[in-house]
Amino acid sequence: MDTVAIGLSGGVDSSVAAYLLKEKGLDVVGITLKLHNDENSVEDAERAANLLNIPLYVFDFAKEFKKTVMDYFFTTYKEGKTPNPCVYCNRFAKFKFLIEKAESLGIKTVATGHYAKKGIIEGHEVVCKSKNTHKDQSYFLSFLEKDQIRKLLFPLEEADSKLYIRKIAEKLGLPTAKKKESYEVCFIKGDYRETLLKKYPNYGIGYFILERKRIKKHKGIFNYTVGQRKGLGIAYSEALYVEKIDTKTFDIILATKDKLHKKNVVVKKANEIYVPSRDFKATAKLRSMMNDEPCTVKVNRKKFVLEFEKEQFAPAPGQVACVYLNDCVILSGFIEKSF
């Protein structure tokens, strides 16, 4: 019987994924990673493993997580950019540690409860969109490298709704069946801005700039992101948005909405799975909560440029750009600038 290690996070998705693997006749071993102060999640994972009658190994990677993911998060904000800790974590922490520990147990295949599926493009194994398009997490897996993808299974790839997963969990009596989903940064409770301000008090104070003129002092760059409208506190004839954050002067450049729409986005390459040519048609998304849009992709050694057919609102430096070909992730990186 083949053995699969399942990443048990303490949530309903990974618990049901473990059950589905057992239903296929696989020998399932649970692995839970302690990445921060998440004792409740560890306890939920233990309860799920006991109910499913699978062994569970718990490994503490809190120090490595802080050094890798949390430091990246704080440093990116200090640079006036918008981080994506989930995308970053999946490659450099969560999947890295999961695969590493599975292999130490002699297990070559790893599964998770992510909503995604695997496909093949020109002989390359790739991460593709889930059947459940509303919950699709392929964007968050866009930094996974070829060697990581090769070892993965996604048991929820055919699940077409979260309700379907919860019904399975309820039928089994899983303790995670009604557990609420978290949409916040996992290692920060409450508003991340408050955490940043406590960690770096009085950092990044500058001025709001509108049409090259100073308007007034702002509250520090941690309080603002590119594309933000709320909380500026400036009366003007039109709605104003954050267009740019200058990390040398800490000034925040404001503009009306029409000036934040850009057709071209320059991206620093972070992951390349497959590129059909140096200039090709595809779709891409610049944040998790948007549809991928048609574009032309122009690739060189370290960067790529996305030329969208339609202008995109407020591409944020630091955020992740993800390129799809036939609904599969082939290229991704960090947004540098747009024009």
- Sheet of 152-153: strand order equals 56-60, 27-34, 3-7, 109-111, 152-153
Rounded Cα distance, 209 and 202, in Å: 19
Phi-psi domain of 318 (left: phi exceeds 0; alpha: psi -120 through 50; beta: other): left
Which amino acid does the sequence have at 321?
A
DSSP string, 17-51: HHHHHHHTT-EEEEEEEE-SS-HHHHHHHHHHHHH
3-class DSSP state of 324: strand
Q: Name every residue whose Cβ is closer than 8 Å to that of residue 303 and which is 6 or more positions away in sequence.
A: 266, 267, 268, 269, 333, 336
Is 128 considered catalytic here?
no
Return d(Cα 298, Cα 304) in angstroms, integer.
5
Q: Look at strands 117-121 and 109-111 and give their pairing.
A: unpaired
- Nearest one of 127, 129, 156, 130 to 143, comparing CA atoms: 127
Helix (H, G, I), strand (E, B) or coil at 168: helix
Distance CA(271)–CA(331), nearest Å, equals 6
Annotated catalytic residue: which of 89, 128, 295, 322? 89
89 is known as an active-site residue:
yes
Active site residues: 89, 186
